Amino acid sequence: MTAYSRPLPSRADVRAAVDALTQETGRTPSVLALATRLGLANTTFRRNFPDVCTDLTPTAHAPASANGAVAYTEMKADNARLRRDKRDLAAQLEAAVAAIQRLSVDNDRLRAALHEARAVTPLPRRRESP
């Protein structure tokens, strides 16, 4: 133990903090919120209280009810849509980069042509007779 380390809270203190946070927020607290409440770093809390972390972490892999199954299906559909959108945007970005590169080359050529055109001596215009 270093001079700066603090003693770990007891399991009873941890459970009391969980109950207090649940009562304050109306929902199960996150591990980070609990660690902050106890004055511990998140990793220190997770290392010393893995059972509490397991109890607080929701299981997202198995839907528990019909609503969970519907939510899971919607999430999968949203995920598929987002992947399609990402692919489309990547293709559009690639096309935009190619267009910018082409425009840069065209701009360079036009500037060179303008420079050459300015080097030409202009001829006086012929005046029309009245």
DSSP per residue, 73-113: HHHHHHHHHHHHHHHHHHHHHHHHHHHHHHHHHHHHHHHHH
Q: Look at 48 and 124; give whichever has higher pLDDT.
A: 48
Q: At residue 4, does pLDDT exceed 70?
A: no
User: pLDDT tens-digit profile of 57-73?
Assistant: 876 555 456 677 888 88
**pTM reported for the whole predicted model:** 0.43
User: pLDDT tens-digit profile of 72-90?
Assistant: 889 999 999 999 999 999 9
Residue 70: the pLDDT is 86
Cα distances from 121 to residues 55, 57, 66, 116, in angstroms, run 86, 80, 83, 11
Query: Whole-angstrom Cα distance, residue 18 to residue 31?
Result: 9
- For residues 48-63, average pLDDT: 76
